[in-house]
Each structure stands twice: as C-alpha cells, then as structure tokens.
Structure 1
Amino acid sequence: MSAPTTVTTPSIIDAPAPPPKARSTRIFRDPVILGCLGWIVFLVGWSLSGLFPHSPTVADPGVLLHAPGGGYLFGVDQDGYDVLSRTVYAAKFDVLMALSGALVAAVTGTWLGILMSSEGRLSALATRGLDVFQAVPLLVVAVAVIGLVGTSRTILVVIIAAINTPLFIRLVQAEARLVRKRGYVAVARVYGVSERTIRWRHILPNVTGVLFPQFSLSVGYAIASVGALSFLGLSEPGSASWGSMIKAGIPLLPLNQWWMVVFPSLALFTVVLAFSELSHRLQGHVEQIRGGSR
C-alpha cells in the first residue's frame, strides 16, 4: 500500500496578492492618451528648458501692446512682456504646483482611505468627520486662508492638497472595502496575518489601479483652481500665472487687444482638457482590466 501523497500549496501569505494584469502596451497605444501626454510633456518641458523667444521675466518698455506678428508670435502685453514666452513660462508654476498638490493628496488620501476601510467605530467616526469636511465649500475657505496668512506657492500646494485629499480617501476607501471581501484576504486572516500586513501587502497593490484616473482628474481641477485664485489676485505677487495674465488683459478687450486674454486662456483650457480626457481614457482602460480579471 503506497504512502499517502502530500500536496503542498504555495504560500499566499508571504507574497502580495497580485493586482490585475497590467496592459500598458494597450494603454500607450491609445492615440488620445499619447496626444494628451505629448501636449502636457511638451508644454512643461518647454517651460523648464528656458528656451523662450524673449525673456518672460524682463519686460521691454520699448514694445508695448504689440499685436501678434513681427517677431512676437503671440504679441506683447501692456507691460512689455512677450505673451508667448510668458504663457509658456507660466506652465512651470501652474502645472507643477497642481501636480505637487495632487500628489500630496493622492499619497495622503490613499493612506487614510486604507486605514478607514476597516469596519469599526473609529472608522465610522472618521467617515462622518470627512462628510462634515466635504460639506464646507473649500475654495471659499481657501480664499479666506490666503487673505489671512498671505499667499505663496507652498500655501497654494497645501490648499490644492486639502481640496483633493477627500476625493482620494473616498475612492480608496470604497475600493479597499471591496478588496477586503476577496478570498485571499479572508485566508490571510485565517492564517493569522496582521491587519497591518493585510493593508499594505494585500490591499494597497489592488487599489492603485483606480488612483491614476483620479490623479489625472485632480491635476486638471487643481490647475483650474490655481487659475481661479490667480485671477482673483491671490497668487504669489510678481509670479507668472495664466489666471493673472487673463485678468490683466480683460480691461483691454474693448480696445480690440485680445491676444493677452486669448492665448493664456487657450493654454489653460487645453491643459485642463488634456488632463480631463486622460482621466476619462485611463478610467476606461481600468474598467477593461478589472472586467478581464474577473
């Protein structure tokens, strides 16, 4: 009589639960994603390169209100700044501040969202506090804060992070609660895996996929918020910003000097649109990946 065969099963505790299979090749073959990323990288890269037709920080008082053309492709504003150089230069501040604020929000929101995904009295209390926080019009609070403590790039990044963090908390919390119901998490608990290990080894890798669409959308919203605050005169004094450029050019529109408003507005619109469309397309790919992994 032969000895009973012992079947060994691979450990599902030591290794993290595998996230849905990545389909990066399909994502980066999407022409809309490539176009959006290309425009954003081109504009930000140009702004960081310092290669401008004219100086964006030194005005030329000898050339004021020059219409587009004759060496000034986008014209010259009322202070003597080349509008093209100034518009591209502003991307370095508007886009990078939005990216920084959204990144802080994503990291903070992911951490808090996973912590608040467990069932319990403390988690429920934190969720109620989040409801109260989201009920407050945060952009109005941001204006009040800037009015009290002054404005700087650091303050703007903190405001952007504060506005967007609740969105990431909600998203990650909902996704993490779905992950907690999966079989490998239940088996991990049976084997005595700690809650901390379950959070960061099993849950975190499986919620990251939903972060990218929200991150892209949050960056677009943050750029629009920076533009709005700059338009209201709440940006750092003397800094280039699309919102402040638009505000400065509006009084000259009745005089048919339109270029100081049109070109910064187009830059703001196209960048926000690129991030919004990027979010939409990434969300579609995430849904396909999740559907294919079921």
Structure 2
Amino acid sequence: MAKIAFLGLGVMGGPMAGHLARVGHDVTVYNRTTTKAKAWGAAHGGDWAKTPRAAAQGAEFVMACVGNDDDLRNVCLGEDGAFAGMGTGTVFVDHTTVSAQVARELHGIADAQGVGFVDAPVSGGQAGAENGVLSIMCGGDAATFERAEPVMGAYARVCRRMGDSGAGQIAKMMNQICIAGLVQGLAEALHFGEKSGMDGRAVVEVISQGAAGSWQMANRHATMLDGEFNHGFAVDWMRKDLAICLAAAEDVGASLPVTALIDQFYKDVQRMGGGRWDTSSLIERLRAFGGNDAV
C-alpha cells in the first residue's frame, strides 16, 4: 500500500479517493472547499490538508481531478502547489480533462525536478467513479505509467498507456467527440419516434441488440424519454471538453464539422437553462425547437 495525496473532491474525485482508501492506501486529501475535505476525511478515515503542497508532502503518488487547465496549474505550481511538496522519484497522476498542451507543459516541469507525470483522464461519469469502473487513458513515460497503473486499479475497469505525454488527453478528446455524435443521433432517433407515435422503449429494446446499440442508448434512453436530466455529465462540462477538442483540431489541421455543430446545440441547451443538465438533454432542444431554431 502507498501513501497517496488526492487533490479535488468533486463528483469524480471524491469517490475515486474513497476507493483508494477502501483498498488500504494511506490517503490525504485536499479540496479548495475545506469543509468538503474535512467531511471526506471523517467519512473515509483519511487525513486532509489545507494546501496541495501540504497534502503532497511525504506522498509517493499525488492524484488530481480538478476543473480545467488553470485549476490544474494552480494545484501543481507555486509556493503552495503540489510540485513544491513532492520529492524526487514521486509520481503525479492527473485525472482532469485538460488540453494536451498543459499536460506536456506540466510533464516538463515535473521531469525537471525528478517527478514523474502521467496525464490520465477518465471516462465513465459519476456512476463509473462511484462503482470503481472507470476507463483511464494515459500519456507519459512507460516506466512511470507502470508504477502508477496498480494504484489507478482501485477505480479502473481498464487502464492503458496511449503514448507519450499528452496522449491520454488526445484519447479523451476522441472519446468526447464520439459521445457528442452518439448522443445527438440518439436524441434525433427518439424525437423522431415520438413525433411518429412510436413506443421509444419498445424500439430501443430491439435496436439496442443490433448495430445501433451503445452505452448511451442503454443507459440514457429511458431518462431522455422521461425528460429527466438532473444527473450524469453536465452540459457545461461537455462544452468545456468540446472546446478543448476543437482547439486541438485546429492545431493539427483536423476537420470536426459534426462536433462543432453539436457544440452549438449544447450552447442552445445552456441558453435554455440546462447548463447543469446531463448531456443527453440534447433531446430537449429538439422538443423545444424541432432542431430548426437556436434560442
């Protein structure tokens, strides 16, 4: 068992840190909201720290799951940042979905002080974090990944190294691109079925067993039909992720016309007041506007 610091106790980070404690690791947590860190410590029998640096001191591994590029830099760098408290030979594992550029930047800074760095964004949502069955896409040095992989096993269904630094983030972008297209396709199919007088549940029971089947269809069709969206991965978060995808595509010269269009559809959902709705709320846009008019 290892001594571990975990930075960020949101809907993903809190359960992930909990799994580390459950399997016997010595876990110290940090969260920007101190009350949340104290509550986690009381619930899981772990320690909490006032700063990332304090949490990281003495830790063999430091894991992070925060909000965006700036949040990640803030918990890593500066006088109170985690890097300031990490010793030579320790490993930083970032589970935040951020740009490949910031992953490579922080990898370089960490490497210069003898600290390993793995970019390791996750897929599986809140349910995957709570159940310990996340898919983890990693970038970084092979030897560093091999050290960190057993630790990540506490909350992973699958954990793979995709390549050098930044490759994990590129893989996560590909994941989000796929999800955007799948959710829009499912929303259009269900909306079309409603307009045609079909029983959406009965249809999904059949087509989910064929080539149209997907995780989104299996896990989101019922709540989409019922208009329930107060769960899952928020539209605001998806727009943050798609912005990363579109910026990276511009850098490498890739064309993402469908992704760019769906990003604008999510913008419409935000304007409808659905920024915190699950990404499957694209169907509400179709119901409200028939897909023809933006808000």
| TM-score, scaled to structure 1 | 0.28
Asked which structure has the greater RCO (Cα within 8 Å, sep 6+), the reply is 1
Q: Relative to total residues, which structure has the larger helix share, 1 or 2?
A: 1
Q: Relative to total residues, which structure has the larger strand share, 1 or 2?
A: 2
Of the two, which has the highest radius of gyration? 1
